[in-house]
Amino acid sequence: MAVPAKTLLIGGSGRMAQMLATRARERNLAVSAVDRPFAADVMKKETCGVTFALFCVPALVLKKVLRTVCPFLPKACIVADITSVKEMPVSVMEEVWEGPVVGTHPLFGPKPDDSGPLPVVLTPGKKATEGALLTTEEFFCSLGFQTFRCTPSRHDEAMANIQNLNFITTLAYFALLANREDLLPFLTPSFHRRMTAAKKMLTEDASMFSGLFEANPHSHEIVRRYRQILNVAASGDIEVLCQRARWWWKDGDRT
């Protein structure tokens, strides 16, 4: 495998793009970044010789940015993204770009904890060659990450369970208890821990998670399945749920 000869990060002022650029430069990789307004003179200069273009922009604006940037890219360039949803972005990239397309999703934020493996999912498009996939893998592996592959549909179904269900149930929990000042004297340490864990998600990142929830075609199905679990709880079968939940610890701590 060989790292891309030159990587271009689109959306370079974003936190993820800045983190990726910093790690790439620390490893002496050829990387540059561009951001709005994508002036023609800047784009012509920065896209010259680019072999790997990584779009670090929100899923909802990806098509617009692709249509602006792709006319400047060399025809053999690999086009990829880092959004947290994959079916729609991969489809959009294939609609706009005639060359190889690889969807990617780093399963961590812009300040990753390097104490353990940092996985990146790759979801190849229909025209992605094995060479394009290997180049994409090598880029992320060179930054110290680990990669694995799956289909866009499998990725989005998994993220609906892991990411979107966590967001929507946390949102519902704190929305249910909002404006209940009579509860404040009763708050426990476990509640405070949950509130601390939820603060960034529901304040700083709420619009991002809302957009990801709506962009993922599997989100509403997982909410319906969660409602069925709540119905089991409402019927009083708590021990049934406890036995099911213990699966996470049957082989030790999975975290």
What per-residue string of b and e applies to 193-220 under the rule 16 or more CB within 10 Å gives b? eeeeebeebbeeeeeebebbbebbebbe
User: What pLDDT is stored for residue 1 in this prediction?
Assistant: 55
User: What pLDDT is stored for residue 116 in this prediction?
Assistant: 84
User: What pLDDT is stored for residue 115 in this prediction?
Assistant: 82
User: What pLDDT is stored for residue 217 in this prediction?
Assistant: 96
Q: If DSSP states are collapsed to H, E and C, what string results for 65-77?
A: HHHHHHHHCCCCC
Contacts 24+ apart (CB under 8 A), 38-42: 38/65, 38/68, 38/69, 40/72
What's the N-to-C CA distance of the chain in angstroms?
31
List the Cα angle 121/212/63 in 5-degree steps: 80
Q: Which of 128, 133, 152 is nearest to 215 (CA)?
A: 152
DSSP 86: -
Strand duo 119-124 + 101-106: pairing: antiparallel
For the chain, list the strands marked E by DSSP.
7-10, 31-34, 52-55, 78-81, 101-106, 119-124, 146-149
DSSP 181: G
CA-to-CA separations, 118 to 121, 218, 243, in angstroms, rounded: 10, 25, 30
Structure tokens at 20: 């990726």
User: What pLDDT is stored for residue 197 in this prediction?
Assistant: 97
Residue with tokens 């409602």: 227
Amino acid at 83: T
* Segment-wise mean pLDDT, segments of 10 residues, the chain, 255 residues: 90 97 97 97 97 96 97 97 97 98 97 90 97 97 97 98 98 98 98 98 95 95 98 96 95 69
CA-only gyration radius of the chain, Å: 21
